[in-house]
């Protein structure tokens, strides 16, 4: 993680820089995808006293987190901004984990493949009560209906999926109970 510290209206001393590095550097352990963090320290003088503002911009892979904190004490503002940044980065990581886990449920259904007209179970995964995904690999060579029926008979199967040479779409031929053959054109 690259950390950049910028100051406006104040002199960036080594003590401030090391304090920012120690406080902001600890947020790196909460997310591996932090590319860069920019810290902007601003001090303004008012009649009522000095006021400091700390802004943080964290660049993560695919998103940006921005937070800001004002306080009379620069070190207190840095402490608060590190806590806010840590909380937001944790929240972003938990969202990403939740999205990955919920997306993982979609792909953990029964997965079937078809090679040379034979359907076989690829993964033996328990059913989750959700809809199944059917993955079909069609033969590479497009064929007409008569060739598909010949393949069906030669392989002694009940149905055969193929790419129709005439339409270029997926079709299915199947053996009916009465001994004839059916054709489904998509």
Same domain flag for 101 and 137 = no
Same domain flag for 91 and 117 = no
Q: Which of 119-123, 132-136, 142-146 has the lowest mean pLDDT?
A: 119-123
Same domain flag for 116 and 102 = no
Contact 148, 116 (CB under 8 A): no
CATH of residue 159's domain is: 3.30.505.50
CA–CA separation, 122 vs 108, rounded Å?
A: 12
Q: Which of 107, 123, 148 is the last residue of a domain?
A: 107
pLDDT tens digits, one per residue of 61-98: 878 889 998 888 889 999 999 999 999 988 888 887 87
pLDDT tens digits, one per residue of 37-50: 999 999 987 666 66
Q: How many domains, in total, are found in the chain?
A: 2
Q: What is the predicted pLDDT for the residue at 17? A: 92
116 pLDDT more than 50: no
Q: pTM here?
A: 0.52
| Strand arrangement, sheet containing 111-115 | 118-123, 111-115, 133-134
* 51: nearest Cα among 60, 59, 41: 41
Residues 132-138: what's their mean pLDDT?
A: 58
Q: What is the predicted pLDDT for the residue at 55? A: 93
Rounded mean pLDDT of the chain? Answer: 79
146 pLDDT more than 50: yes
Same domain flag for 25 and 100 = yes
14 pLDDT more than 90: yes
Q: Tell me the CA distances in angstroms from 22 to 11, 25, 27, 76, 81, one per residue in order.
A: 19, 5, 10, 14, 13
142 pLDDT more than 90: no
Q: What is the predicted pLDDT for the residue at 16? A: 92
Q: Which of 57, 88, 107 is the last residue of a domain?
A: 107
Domain span at residue 26? Answer: 2-107
Same domain flag for 89 and 123 = no
Same domain flag for 103 and 116 = no
Contacts of 76 (CB under 8 A, 6+ apart): none
CATH of residue 77's domain is: 3.30.160.100
Distance from the first to the final alpha carbon of the chain: 53
Same domain flag for 94 and 160 = no
Q: What is the predicted pLDDT for the residue at 138? A: 57
CA–CA separation, 168 vs 173, rounded Å?
A: 15
Confidence of residue 122 (pLDDT cuts 50, 70, 90): very low
Same domain flag for 10 and 84 = yes
Q: Which of 49, 73, 107 is the last residue of a domain?
A: 107
Same domain flag for 136 and 102 = no
Q: What is the predicted pLDDT for the residue at 158? A: 87
Same domain flag for 102 and 127 = no
Residues 159-176: what's their mean pLDDT?
A: 88
């Amino acid at each position: 993680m690259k950390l950049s510290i910028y100051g406006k209206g104040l002199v960036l001393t080594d003590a401030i820089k090391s304090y920012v590095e120690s406080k902001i550097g600890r947020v790196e352990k909460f997310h591996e995808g932090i590319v860069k963090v920019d810290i902007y320290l601003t001090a303004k003088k008012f009649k009522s006293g000095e006021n400091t503002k700390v802004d943080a911009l964290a660049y993560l892979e695919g998103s940006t987190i921005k937070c800001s904190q004002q306080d009379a004490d620069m070190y207190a503002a840095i402490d608060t901004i590190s806590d806010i940044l840590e909380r937001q980065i944790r929240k972003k990581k938990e969202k990403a984990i939740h999205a990955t886990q919920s997306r993982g449920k979609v792909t953990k259904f029964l997965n079937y493949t078809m090679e040379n007209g034979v359907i076989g179970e690829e993964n033996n995964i328990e059913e989750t009560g959700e809809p199944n995904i059917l993955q079909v690999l069609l033969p590479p060579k497009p064929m007409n209906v008569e060739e598909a029926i010949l393949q069906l008979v030669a392989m002694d199967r009940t149905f055969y999926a193929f790419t129709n040479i005439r339409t270029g779409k997926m079709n299915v031929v199947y053996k009916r109970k009465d001994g004839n053959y059916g054709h489904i054109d998509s």
